[in-house]
Amino acid sequence: MRIVLLVDSSAAIAPQLLHIRAGLKAFLEALPGDHEIALISTGGQLRIRAQPTADREKVRAAAASFASDGGANAF
């Protein structure tokens, strides 16, 4: 299965950044199997933070460094 996580990274999420990172981490830890996961953010412009991959470490690293891009939501 391929899972695409679309996450708002606009200026509006800045106060909730720690909660969003924690939620992404919890989701990745709870997800069983070897599914492909992609992480895409939608603040300012759409940005692929992690290409679809079964390598959880790559997606975890992208989730851990997730930050607000500022601006309005591009989606």
As a whole number of angstroms, the longest Cα–Cα distance in the chain is 36
Q: What is the pLDDT of residues 19-58, one digit of tens each?
A: 999 999 999 999 988 899 999 999 888 999 999 999 999 9
Where is 21: in which H helix or E strand?
Answer: helix 17-30
Where is 60: in which H helix or E strand?
Answer: helix 56-64
Q: What is the pLDDT of residue 73?
A: 83
Using CA atoms, how far apart are residues 69 and 45, in angstroms rounded to an integer? 8
